[in-house]
Each structure stands twice: as structure tokens, then as C-alpha cells.
């Protein structure tokens, strides 16, 4: 089942493909030395960015094509959305690797595997002489602006890494795309944070009835997977810390409800950990409505089959993944019937329709599935596949063999539950099977993200924010102005600049 958003985006591809401008697309070749092979990476997410980071840029002529010019550290987005962390903590710029790497802020709309060319479309505003505009990068992933064609261009590749991820699933529920918030990248986190604050300021107006206030402060989350659960937990932390302090009378009216069609939340976790989470949420006053079906969403209200009309101030929608339109447009490769993910072999090469691997094209991350072993669509898998490809590409470029198949090492799954508590599930791992809940799991959760944050800057900033939050306030006060939280941050940045390492 595809989201209506995907359908719109797919239509965008077809419109462009038919456009005469596309036929006249410019051919670009990179300025790097001729003797280097061209490696093109599509996407700057968990898979693509890892390849970009590790690949030997002296030996490969590397080009990155991505509509966003930064990598989003998705596990920190829920925290950013409520002000636990600042947005900059969850992003790493692609430009860090230029000029060694050529980067285009653009969509790849079509791939010609025979000619080894990519058709791309700028994801930047139109230039003065362009009569029709290129699709802008939307302010949030919820928005879809496809106002026509800009100036498309073509790129050639010798080797190609497809790492374009997936879109948010809506199950075609009417109104979701228009009235709900997704949480896919930092633009979404920013929009959610703005809306939360707006809800409290609106509810604080003197002329409102208590019913209106309660409606505005009804925060609904649809999707009881790790993303929905972590957002509910972070929001709960916010409501019971700063909000209670700054809006004491409104805090009592605020309510968080988590909806899911399944009988339990956190279905991918061990059952006992799922029950631990449900019990904790109930104790915290977070309402869990499982076996509930949202049928329609309108501005400020949704219609739930089992409940009727539910007014809300904020609706966050997180019900899984829908295929990326680029992947949907590919018909010459084998795909998973249900998810439409590109099938690969164990070397991560895509498979043509006759089942043969394409030796020059690899697919990783949420848009790819190993045919012989379906793995979960997680950052962990995307990142490990990226690391594997780095090794392979760095051997290939030296004419060395690399035939070792990809092996996934399950590090376990983590989910934050609020109040410094988390769950950790490693019961599905091959070795050291374990599961934890509570404070110890929370420590694991924090240390996992601390060790994974990529740049030195973020390795310093993330724990600094966490530390300061434990003693002072989160970055809610201003959302615009300099908050007390930013003072130590500025201090750290100053030190870094002085040390000329930044």
C-alpha cells in the first residue's frame, strides 16, 4: 500500500520524464581527474553518508546527489522536537567533504542502468532565468510542492550506490498528508517544536473556554513503534518539566495519547519489554489506544473508528515506511512485492529482472532488501551496509578482490521511555542475548547515541546539552532567542574554534 504522498511524488517523476526540457537535459561530468572512476552516491542518510565518509576520495571521483545537504541523525530527532537537544546536534553537513567530493542538492528522478546515467532535478529554488520552478526542498517532509520543472541535468556513473531511503507511510488515510506532522528529518522536528509552543500560547489566550484549551493541548501520536513511543516519552518529559513551570494551569489540561491498530505497542521488541513500556506509560498518564483505527484527519481533528471525533492540537504520524518514488519508478530490477524495496544479493548488488546481479550498482538502507535474508529497516542495518560497501569500494578501486558477503551484527534495539528510563532488546542477537529496562537501559541508550554521533562537534554538543538539561532548563524558553542552554554550547564552540579543530 502506498501513501498518497508517494503517489504525488511518483506523478512528479512522470511529468518530468515527459517534459521536453528533460530531453534537453545538460550532461555534466565531474571536474576530477579523468583516470578516476565515477562513483555516484544517491542519498545522504544513514547508508549514503556512511559511504561518503569512508570511501577513498583520493582514488574515487565521488559525487553525491541528495535533496538535503545534510545527514540527519534520526534517533535524536524526537529529542530535538521537544527541545532536549538543539537541531544542530542531529545534523552533519555533506559539505564537510567538499571540495574532495562533488555534491548536488538535487533529486535523482530516473536511472538508466544500461546507459549508466542518472536524470536529476535541482532541489533548490528556481534561478532568475528559469520560467518554471524546480521543486523546492519542502519546509517539512509533510509538505509536497511540485510546481513543475526546473532545469534537469544528467550525470554519468561508473559505479552507483542507491541509498535513497523510504517515505512516511500514511496507508492512504485521507487528510494525514495535509494535517499531520511526520518525524523524518530535522525540518519536521523544527515544525513540531514550533507547533507545541504555539498550542500552549494559543491555549493561554484569555478568551478561550476550558474545552477549547483541552482540545488544543490534546497531543495525539499515531503509530506505536519506537519512533512514536520515543516522541511520546520526550513530550511527556517536556510537559512535566518546563511546561509545568511556565504554564502551571495549562499543564494539567495537556494530554498525550498514543494510537495503534495493533493489539500492543512496540511489536518489534520482546513482549516483556513492550509490557514494561505500556505499564510505564499508563503510570505516567500517557493514554494508549491500541486496536484503534484512524479513518480520516481534518484540520485540528481526526475521526477514529472506535472513538469518533477526536480534536487535537498536534498530531504526529509515524506508521512505518512507504516506498521512495525513485525506487517505485524502477522496473528493470527485482523488487520485494510488498515493500517495493530493491532486492540485492549478499554482496549488496541489485538484481536485474532475470535474477543477475548488476556488478556496478549497489543498494543499501531502507530502500533495499537482501533477497536471502530480510533485515529490519533501521539505521543500524543501513549503517552496517554502508560500512561494508566502503570496504568493498576501497578494494575495488585498487583492483583487489572483495567477495565476502555482507553479515549483519545485531547490536540490539533501544527505545527511550521518559524519566531517564529506556528498554534495550538484544534477545534476537546471535551472541550475548540480553534485555534490559529502566535506568541501566537508559544509560545504554545514551552511550549508544553518544558513541555514534559523528563529528567531534556533535560528540561534544550532545552530552553538553544532556548534562545542562539535567541541571537547568531545556531549549524551550526561546525557541528563537539565546537560551541559558546555549551559553555552555557557545563556550564549547569557542574553545573548539580556538583549538582550530572546528
Question: Does residue 465 sit in helix, strand or coil?
Answer: helix
DSSP letter, residue 476: T
Residues 6+ apart with CB under 8 A from 241: 473, 474
Give the residue from 96, 38, 73 showing the smallest Cα distance to 383. Answer: 73
DSSP character string of 349-375: EEEBTTS-EEEEEEE-GGGEEETTS--
**Phi–psi pair at 327, nearest 5 degrees:** -65, -40
DSSP letter, residue 73: -
Among 382, 417, 461, 475, the residue binding ligand FAD under the rule CB under 6 A is: 382
Among 4, 169, 378, 410, the residue binding ligand FAD under the rule CB under 6 A is: 378
Scan residues 45-84 and list those touching ligand FAD (CB under 6 A).
45-48, 65-68, 74-75, 77-78
Contact status, residue 95 vs residue 71, Cβ threshold 8 Å: no
- Residue 93 or 488 having the CB closest to ligand FAD: 93
Minimum distance from residue 276 beta carbon to ligand FAD (Å): 18
Binding mask 190-229 for ligand FAD (x = CB under 6 A): -------------------------------------x--
Candidates 161-169, 217-225, 260-268, 482-490: pick the segment binding ligand FAD (CB under 6 A): 161-169
Among 164, 239, 468, 475, the residue binding ligand FAD under the rule CB under 6 A is: 164
Q: Is the dihedral of CA 187, 96, 37, 121 positive or negative?
A: positive
DSSP letter, residue 153: E
Minimum distance from residue 107 beta carbon to ligand FAD (Å): 4
Give the residue from 42, 36, 116, 102 showing the smallest Cα distance to 398. Answer: 36
Minimum distance from residue 324 beta carbon to ligand FAD (Å): 5
Q: Which residue is nearest to ligand FAD (CB)?
A: 45
If one asks whether residue 326 binds ligand FAD (CB under 6 A), the answer comes out as yes
- Residue 102 or 164 having the CB closest to ligand FAD: 164
Residues 6+ apart with CB under 8 A from 27: 153, 154, 156
- Residue 32 or 326 having the CB closest to ligand FAD: 326
Minimum distance from residue 303 beta carbon to ligand FAD (Å): 26
- Residue 233 or 304 having the CB closest to ligand FAD: 233
Minimum distance from residue 48 beta carbon to ligand FAD (Å): 6
- Residue 288 or 363 having the CB closest to ligand FAD: 363
Minimum distance from residue 408 beta carbon to ligand FAD (Å): 12
Residues 6+ apart with CB under 8 A from 430: 409, 410
Burial of 143-154, coded b for 16+ CB within 10 Å and e otherwise, reads beebebbbbbbb
Candidates 36-44, 146-154, 293-301, 489-497: pick the segment binding ligand FAD (CB under 6 A): 36-44
Minimum distance from residue 389 beta carbon to ligand FAD (Å): 11
If one asks whether residue 135 binds ligand FAD (CB under 6 A), the answer comes out as no
Question: Does residue 162 sit in helix, strand or coil?
Answer: strand
Binding mask 95-124 for ligand FAD (x = CB under 6 A): ------------xx----------------
d(CA 75, CA 90): 8
If one asks whether residue 323 binds ligand FAD (CB under 6 A), the answer comes out as no
In which order are the strands placed within the sheet that holds 435-438? 413-418, 421-425, 435-438
d(CA 481, CA 251): 23
Question: Does residue 202 sit in helix, strand or coil?
Answer: helix
Q: Please, what is the Cα angle at 436 between 434 and 442, to 5 degrees? A: 135
Minimum distance from residue 77 beta carbon to ligand FAD (Å): 4
Minimum distance from residue 498 beta carbon to ligand FAD (Å): 33
Contact status, residue 181 vs residue 221, Cβ threshold 8 Å: no
Scan residues 462-481 and list those touching ligand FAD (CB under 6 A).
none
* Size of interface with ligand FAD, in residues (CB under 6 A): 33
Give the residue from 347, 325, 410 showing the smallest Cα distance to 376. Answer: 410
Helix, strand, coil % over all residues of the chain, rounded to 5: 35, 25, 40
- Residue 74 or 169 having the CB closest to ligand FAD: 74
If one asks whether residue 324 binds ligand FAD (CB under 6 A), the answer comes out as yes
Candidates 214-222, 348-356, 376-384, 388-396: pick the segment binding ligand FAD (CB under 6 A): 376-384
Candidates 125-133, 162-170, 279-287, 470-478: pick the segment binding ligand FAD (CB under 6 A): 162-170
If one asks whether residue 377 binds ligand FAD (CB under 6 A), the answer comes out as yes
Among 165, 175, 228, 418, the residue binding ligand FAD under the rule CB under 6 A is: 165
- Residue 112 or 210 having the CB closest to ligand FAD: 112
Chain centroid to Cα 45, Å, comes to 8
Contact status, residue 65 vs residue 40, Cβ threshold 8 Å: yes
Question: Does residue 245 sit in helix, strand or coil?
Answer: helix
If one asks whether residue 43 binds ligand FAD (CB under 6 A), the answer comes out as yes
- Residue 126 or 165 having the CB closest to ligand FAD: 165
Helix or strand (DSSP H, E) at 26: strand 26-28
CA-based Rg of the chain, rounded to a whole angstrom? 23
User: Could you list the residues that contact ligand FAD (CB under 6 A)?
Assistant: 42-48, 65-68, 74-75, 77-78, 107-108, 163-165, 183-184, 227, 324, 326, 365-367, 377-380, 382
Amino acid at each position: 500500500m502506498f501513501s498518497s504522498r508517494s503517489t504525488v511524488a511518483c506523478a512528479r517523476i512522470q511529468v518530468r520524464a515527459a517534459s521536453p526540457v528533460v530531453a534537453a537535459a545538460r550532461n555534466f561530468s565531474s571536474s576530477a581527474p579523468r583516470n578516476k572512476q565515477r562513483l555516484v552516491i544517491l542519498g545522504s542518510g544513514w547508508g549514503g553518508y556512511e559511504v561518503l565518509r569512508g570511501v577513498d576520495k583520493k582514488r574515487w571521483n565521488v559525487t553525491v546527489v541528495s535533496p538535503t545537504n545534510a545527514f540527519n541523525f534520526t534517533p535524536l530527532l524526537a529529542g530535538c522536537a521537544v527541545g532536549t537537544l538543539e537541531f544542530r546536534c542531529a545534523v552533519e553537513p555533506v559539505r564537510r567533504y567538499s571540495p574532495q567530493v562533488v555534491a548536488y542538492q538535487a533529486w535523482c528522478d530516473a536511472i538508466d542502468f544500461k546507459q549508466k546515467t542518472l536524470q536529476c532535478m535541482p532541489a533548490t529554488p528556481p534561478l532568475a532565468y528559469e520560467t518554471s520552478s524546480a521543486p523546492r526542498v519542502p519546509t517539512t517532509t509533510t509538505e509536497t510542492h511540485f510546481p513543475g520543472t526546473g532545469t534537469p541535468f544528467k550525470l554519468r556513473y561508473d559505479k552507483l550506490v542507491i541509498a535513497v531511503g523510504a517515505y512516511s507511510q500514511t496507508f492512504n488515510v485521507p487528510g494525514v498528508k495535509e494535517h499531520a506532522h511526520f518525524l523524518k528529518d530535522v525540518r519536521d522536528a523544527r515544525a513540531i517544536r514550533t507547533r507545541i509552543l504555539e498550542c500552549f500560547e494559543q491555549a493561554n489566550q484569555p478568551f478561550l473556554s476550558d474545552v477549547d484549551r483541552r482540545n488544543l493541548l490534546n497531543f495525539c501520536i499515531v503509530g506505536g513503534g519506537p519512533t512514536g513511543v520515543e516522541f511520546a516519552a520526550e513530550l511527556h518529559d517536556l510537559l512535566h518539566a518546563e511546561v509545568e513551570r511556565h504554564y502551571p494551569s495549562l499543564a494539567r489540561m495537556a494530554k498525550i495519547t498514543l494510537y495503534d491498530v495493533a493489539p500492543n505497542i512496540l511489536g518489534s521488541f520482546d513482549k516483556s519489554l513492550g509490557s514494561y513500556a505500556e505499564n510505564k506509560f499508563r503510570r505516567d498518564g500517557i493514554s494508549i489506544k491500541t486496536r484503534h483505527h484512524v479513518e480520516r484527519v481534518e484540520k485540528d481533528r481526526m475521526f477514529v473508528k472506535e472513538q469518533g471525533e477526536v480534536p487535537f492540537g498536534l498530531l504526529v504520524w509515524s506508521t512505518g515506511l512507504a516506498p521512495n518514488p525513485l525506487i517505485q519508478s524502477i522496473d528493470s530490477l527485482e523488487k520485494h512485492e510488498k515493500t517495493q524495496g530493491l532486492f540485492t544479493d549478499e554482496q549488496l548488488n541489485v538484481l536485474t529482472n532475470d535474477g543477475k546481479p548488476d556488478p556496478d550498482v549497489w543498494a543499501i538502507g531502507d530502500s533495499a532488501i537482501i533477497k536471502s535474508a530480510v533485515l529490519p529497516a533501521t539505521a543500524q542495518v543501513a549503517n552496517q551496509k554502508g560500512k561494508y560497501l566502503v570496504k568493498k569500494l576501497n578494494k575495488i578501486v585498487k583492483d583487489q578482490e572483495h567477495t565476502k558477503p555482507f553479515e549483519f551484527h545485531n547490536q540490539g534495539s533501544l527505545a527511550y521511555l521518559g524519566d531517564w528510563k529506556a528498554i534495550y532488546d538484544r534477545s534476537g542477537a546471535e551472541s550475548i542475548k540480553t534485555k534490559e529496562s529502566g535506568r541501566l537501559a537508559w544509560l545504554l541508550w545514551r552511550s549508544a547515541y553518544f558513541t555514534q554521533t559523528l563529528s567531534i562537534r556533535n560528540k561534544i554538543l550532545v552530552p553538553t546539552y544532556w548534562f545542562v538539561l539535567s541541571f537547568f532548563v531545556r531549549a524551550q524558553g526561546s525557541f528563537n532567542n539565546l537560551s541559558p542552554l546555549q551559553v555552555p554550547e557557545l563556550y564549547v564552540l569557542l574553545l573548539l574554534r580556538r583549538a582550530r579543530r572546528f
